[in-house]
A and B are shown apart, each in its own frame.
Chain A
Amino acid sequence: MITAQLDGILPVNPSPELTERKWWDYFTFNTDHKVIGIQYLVTSFLFYLVGGALATAVRKELSTPEVDFVSRELYNSLFTMHATVMIFLWIVPAANGAFGNFLLPLMIGARDMAFPRLNAIAFWLIPPGGILLMSSFLVGAPASGWTSYPPLSLMNGKWGELIWILSLLILGTSSILGAVNFITTLLLMRRPGIGLNNMPLFCWAMLSSSALVLISTPVLAGALILLCFDLIGGTSFFNPTGGGDPIVYQHMFWFYSHPAVYIMILPVFGLVSEILPVHARKPIFGYQAIAYSSLAISFLGLIVWAHHMFTSGVPGWLRMFFMVATMVIAVPTGIKVFSWVATVWGGKLRLNSGMLFAMGFVSMFVIGGLSGVMLASAPFDIHVHDTYFVVAHLHYVLFGGSVFGLYAAIYHWFPKMTGRMINETWGKVHFVLTLVGFNLCFLPMHKVGLAGMPRRVAEYDPQFAAINLICSIGAYLLAVSTIPFVINAVYSWVRGPKAGANPWNAISPEWQTLSPPPIENYLGEPPFVPDPYDYGKDYNPGKRPMSQVKAADLWR
């Protein structure tokens, strides 16, 4: 028997010192993956508020066609910092660091990550990296966009740019250390009986995402170091006045930064694949298809980077290669979307806040996916590249996708992380405000982009004024929508009703322990869950094999 090997790891009734965390543990160099996960989540959420404030300032400037709120220089810094904070300090650490750390060991029946100290170091690089980045406002923040293309990035303020490079190197190092830990833990520390083909899908997503981090982040680091030499050492790797080639920087930058999109969305795909079955009370539809499509996306994500450069210094034949490769990604992505819809279809949906955000994720991500296929088409991209159409697309993927999914995950695992239930009514208010604000802000941007409004401008053609005002109102609503969430989360964490071990009656392993889990994760041996999505055991209306169910049955 598999279980026999695990006897005697922990006493069945350990003392409270082994099961409970003190509040101050969360402010220390702690090596417990659950503490680190929550440290990542709270820290990155604070930076999300900073990034949101920067975005609100950007939208305030854009509510009129003239430059009337901040200076042109500051405006460029605002959107540069907004993107940098949201990507490197919110979505990447929240999707990978926070949920990867909190959930993976619980899901595979491990007591901690493979390298706990490395894990703590990875987290503790984030606050200094973030504070360093913020400090650039004191010396003139970077203003060359988060892409930081030379030669412009070599000509704007030197100190702001240097700080931007250094903080990204720190945050990239953190990301790499995390990925090493995730891959090692997933491959070597699974409880006996948990194979690659019955571990929860979030594990597959993290494996795919971490592989991308390991392969692509060093290339970004290389590009940034060379850029740094050009900036302070007077070299000419990318500086055309000395014979350097700015296009080489773009290739290196996007070799990381396209996969970065998947580093930000693959873990969220995994989170949603966990949440939907629990609240639909159905098995995940097409486990293997979803698992392998993560790997396919991960691989394809490495060979599509130059679709960000269709109007740049890239010859036509190369543009065609990257166009076709990008189009192909629609296939594994479509498999996931259809599988999620099939998971929901015919279920018994418990429409709580987590489920609403997860379904909202599918709904919003589809819009970003469809505009993504359009952008893959090089002749069409020539028209809309660097316009508000792209701004709309990327926010449907990274906000409608990643952020909706992260909110879903926060609501879903809140009881597990804190041991308390979060208020459902205020959760639903938060969902509705977010959904309305988000679409009001970003849907109209497609229109102005197609009609001729470029991105990254502080001033624009007055014919676009009305639509931009609508976008700005949506952005304000989005800013307001976080207020009920923050109050609800803080209040529920302290005063919410006790959750109990498994309030959702879920099957996956992380719910088969106390809430919050004891320090060693499980009292006694970790449970053996042969199928984490084994819902439908007590399905009533005459169990029939799937092959005998007609679509027509579903319409009754």
Chain B
Amino acid sequence: MNIPTNIATLIVGVLVTLISFWVGQHHGLLPVAASVNAPLIDGLFDTMITLSVGLFLLVQGALIFALFKFRKPKDDETDGPPWKENLPLEILWTGIPAIIVLGLSVYSFEVYNSIGGLEELAMQAHHHSMKGAAIAAPLNSTSQSSPTEPRLATIGFTAPANVKGTGVTVDVTGLQYAWIFNYPDSGITSGELHLPVGQDVQLKIKAMDVLHAFWVPQFRLKQDAIPGRETELWFKPTVIGTYPIVCAELCGSFHGAMRSQVIIEPQSDYDAWVQQQLADSAPSDHPTIASAGQSQSAETRLAPRLAEMGISELTLAQVHPHHDG
């Protein structure tokens, strides 16, 4: 089959292209992009939507056109044309998808690398097994380990070497059915995640009981929390606001209720929040008692649900850091 020169074909081609690009830019399917990674992933998605809409229109258009144009005429019991193959056409529809997926692979690899997904390749990964041990050990011990101590190769997303160690580090613990956030630098424990805008954030994620997954749709980031194994997420929030933290891995009957929120605020508000948290917990020397006074502590926030979910005080006390010594 020669390349179509027919005007109608040309118009169809131009229209499909225009519609594809327009939809790719105006689909409005994704929520606010609130982290430095999110626009990269959105760009990738827009590209894939553009390509998909084009292919969708071509195939569906051909099928619907055929439905009307090639319907059997009444009383015509003869066959259609005996076309069995066409090598140039088949090379074309093998080659073009091959080039598209190759391009998408390279593009996706680039995006994946720039959101910190391949940092572990750059690091000297020491394979130190912490399976099982993490469950028995105090949960905040691994993140406070000295730099010389060998650690498990990263799973998830890590800060590039040049920003490593700056910004905020938070230990995240998933348990049926809540997220607990522990700030090792200040010793704060909270049921909500407060973060200063524009700072690099490194989350170290653990699970107490079953698999969970930490997901903030507005950051386009998700990582499973795995019992016995630490995983990581790195990002830089860019837009001030309050976003949902959603558990995305089935974790039991209250899985759908396992939600929290991340509050991205200006540095001054964040500092004030840290001071408030420290002031609230300072007078006490017992963590469980101290927590009762914290306005946003995990225990307070969860209290109405605890009995219903069967989580004991003791379980929560376990994840509470013993920073008082």
**Further contacts, 11 of them, CB under 8 A, given A283-B82, A312-B224, A344-B62:** A240-B228, A247-B229, A315-B155, A316-B119, A316-B121, A341-B63, A370-B56, A373-B101, A373-B104, A380-B45, A380-B108
What are 7 A-to-B residue pairs whose CB atoms are below 8 Å? A247-B229, A285-B85, A312-B226, A316-B120, A380-B108, A382-B223, A551-B6
Task: Decide: A346 and B81 in contact? CB cutoff 8 A.
Answer: yes
Asked whether A457 and B255 contact (CB < 8 A) given A155-B210, A551-B4, the answer is yes
Residue from the list B29, B67, B97 in contact with A334, Cβ < 8 A: B97
* In the complex, A194 has a CB within 8 A of chain B: no
Please give, as numbers and ranges, the residues of chain A lying within 8 Å of B30 by CB-CB distance: 450-451
Residue from the list B67, B83, B119, B226 in contact with A283, Cβ < 8 A: B83
CB distance from B232 to the nearest CB of A (A): 11
| Bound Cα distance A155, B76 (Å) | 65
* In the complex, B312 has a CB within 8 A of chain A: no
* In the complex, A452 has a CB within 8 A of chain B: yes
Residue from the list B211, B220, B247 in contact with A454, Cβ < 8 A: B247
Listed stretches A122-130, A223-231, A317-325, A435-443; interface member: A317-325
A354-377 vs B: 1/0 string, CB under 8 Å? 000001001100110011011001
Task: Decide: B101 and A551 in contact? CB cutoff 8 A.
Answer: no
Listed stretches B88-96, B165-173, B290-298; interface member: B88-96
* In the complex, B109 has a CB within 8 A of chain A: yes
Task: Decide: A76 and B250 in contact? CB cutoff 8 A.
Answer: yes
Asked whether A143 and B82 contact (CB < 8 A) given A246-B226, A363-B60, the answer is no
Residue from the list B86, B97, B112, B217 in contact with A379, Cβ < 8 A: B112
Please give, as numbers and ranges, the residues of chain A lying within 8 Å of B84 by CB-CB distance: 283-287, 533, 546
Residue from the list B41, B70, B210, B248 in contact with A385, Cβ < 8 A: B248
Count chain A residues whose beta carbon lies closer than 8 angstroms to a beta carbon of B: 110
Asked whether A331 and B246 contact (CB < 8 A) given A366-B60, A378-B108, the answer is no
* In the complex, A456 has a CB within 8 A of chain B: yes
In the complex, what residue of chain B is closest to A367 when comparing beta carbons? B56
Task: Decide: A341 and B70 in contact? CB cutoff 8 A.
Answer: no
A444-468 vs B: 1/0 string, CB under 8 Å? 0011001110111111110000000
Please give, as numbers and ranges, the residues of chain A lying within 8 Å of B164 by CB-CB distance: none
Listed stretches A48-56, A185-193, A537-545; interface member: A537-545
Please give, as numbers and ranges, the residues of chain B lying within 8 Å of A539 by CB-CB distance: 78-82
Task: Decide: B105 and A327 in contact? CB cutoff 8 A.
Answer: yes
Task: Decide: A374 and B45 in contact? CB cutoff 8 A.
Answer: yes
* In the complex, B244 has a CB within 8 A of chain A: yes
CB distance from B64 to the nearest CB of A (A): 8
Task: Decide: B228 and A245 in contact? CB cutoff 8 A.
Answer: yes
Q: Which of A374-416 contact B (CB under 8 A)?
A: 374, 377-380, 382-383, 385-387
* In the complex, B19 has a CB within 8 A of chain A: no
Please give, as numbers and ranges, the residues of chain B lying within 8 Å of A287 by CB-CB distance: 84-85
Please give, as numbers and ranges, the residues of chain B lying within 8 Å of A313 by CB-CB distance: 155, 224, 226, 229, 231
Please give, as numbers and ranges, the residues of chain A lying within 8 Å of B108 by CB-CB distance: 323, 377-380
Task: Decide: A246 and B59 in contact? CB cutoff 8 A.
Answer: no
| Bound Cα distance A331, B104 (Å) | 13
Task: Decide: A335 and B90 in contact? CB cutoff 8 A.
Answer: yes
| Bound Cα distance A261, B60 (Å) | 24
* In the complex, A550 has a CB within 8 A of chain B: yes
In the complex, what residue of chain B is closest to A241 when comparing beta carbons? B135
Task: Decide: A366 and B251 in contact? CB cutoff 8 A.
Answer: no
Please give, as numbers and ranges, the residues of chain B lying within 8 Å of A379 by CB-CB distance: 40-41, 44, 108, 111-112, 115, 117
Q: Which of B216-250 contact A (CB under 8 A)?
A: 217-218, 220-224, 226-229, 231, 244, 246-250
Task: Decide: A344 and B115 in contact? CB cutoff 8 A.
Answer: no
Residue from the set B48, B213, B224 with the largest chain A CB neighbour count within 10 Å: B224
Q: Which of A275-291 contact B (CB under 8 A)?
A: 280-289
Task: Decide: A72 and B59 in contact? CB cutoff 8 A.
Answer: no
| Bound Cα distance A344, B66 (Å) | 7
Please give, as numbers and ranges, the residues of chain A lying within 8 Å of B120 by CB-CB distance: 315-317
CB distance from A252 to the nearest CB of B (A): 16
Task: Decide: B256 and A383 in contact? CB cutoff 8 A.
Answer: no
Q: Hey, which bits of chain A sit against chain B, CB under 8 A?
A: 67, 71-73, 75-76, 143-145, 149, 151-152, 155-156, 240-243, 245-247, 280-289, 311-317, 319-320, 323-324, 327-328, 330-331, 334-335, 337-339, 341-342, 344-351, 359, 362-363, 366-367, 370-371, 373-374, 377-380, 382-383, 385-387, 446-447, 450-452, 454-461, 505, 533-541, 543, 546-547, 549-552, 555
| Bound Cα distance A362, B67 (Å) | 13
Please give, as numbers and ranges, the residues of chain B lying within 8 Å of A338 by CB-CB distance: 59, 90, 93
Task: Decide: B79 and A289 in contact? CB cutoff 8 A.
Answer: no
Chain A to chain B: the 3 pairs with minimum beta-carbon distance, closest first = A536-B82, A457-B256, A452-B217
| Bound Cα distance A177, B260 (Å) | 49
| Bound Cα distance A517, B175 (Å) | 60
| Bound Cα distance A446, B226 (Å) | 27
Residue from the list B59, B67, B79, B109 in contact with A348, Cβ < 8 A: B79
| Bound Cα distance A67, B52 (Å) | 36
Q: Which of B24-73 contact A (CB under 8 A)?
A: 29-31, 40-41, 44-45, 48, 52, 55-56, 59-60, 62-63, 66-67, 70-73
Please give, as numbers and ranges, the residues of chain B lying within 8 Å of A460 by CB-CB distance: 256
* In the complex, B18 has a CB within 8 A of chain A: no
Task: Decide: A380 and B257 in contact? CB cutoff 8 A.
Answer: no
In the complex, what residue of chain B is closest to A374 when comparing beta carbons? B48
Residue from the list A327, A341, A374 in contact with B62, Cβ < 8 A: A341
Task: Decide: A536 and B79 in contact? CB cutoff 8 A.
Answer: yes
CB distance from B150 to the nearest CB of A (A): 16
Task: Decide: B132 and A241 in contact? CB cutoff 8 A.
Answer: yes
Please give, as numbers and ranges, the residues of chain A lying within 8 Å of B80 by CB-CB distance: 280-282, 346-348, 535-536, 539
Task: Decide: B44 and A151 in contact? CB cutoff 8 A.
Answer: no
Asked whether A320 and B109 contact (CB < 8 A) given A311-B222, A386-B213, the answer is yes
B166-205 vs A: 1/0 string, CB under 8 Å? 0000000000000000000000000000000000000000
Asked whether A311 and B79 contact (CB < 8 A) given A76-B250, A152-B252, A335-B93, the answer is no
Task: Decide: B79 and A282 in contact? CB cutoff 8 A.
Answer: yes
| Bound Cα distance A335, B59 (Å) | 12
CB distance from B228 to the nearest CB of A (A): 4
Please give, as numbers and ranges, the residues of chain A lying within 8 Å of B45 by CB-CB distance: 374, 380
Please give, as numbers and ranges, the residues of chain A lying within 8 Å of B85 by CB-CB distance: 285-289, 546
* In the complex, B263 has a CB within 8 A of chain A: no
Task: Decide: A73 and B210 in contact? CB cutoff 8 A.
Answer: no
Residue from the list A311, A314, A323 in contact with B213, Cβ < 8 A: A311
Task: Decide: A342 and B83 in contact? CB cutoff 8 A.
Answer: yes
* In the complex, B8 has a CB within 8 A of chain A: yes
Q: Which of B124-152 contact A (CB under 8 A)?
A: 131-132, 135
B295-310 vs A: 1/0 string, CB under 8 Å? 0000000000000000
CB distance from B162 to the nearest CB of A (A): 18
| Bound Cα distance A467, B218 (Å) | 20
Please give, as numbers and ranges, the residues of chain A lying within 8 Å of B31 by CB-CB distance: 450-452
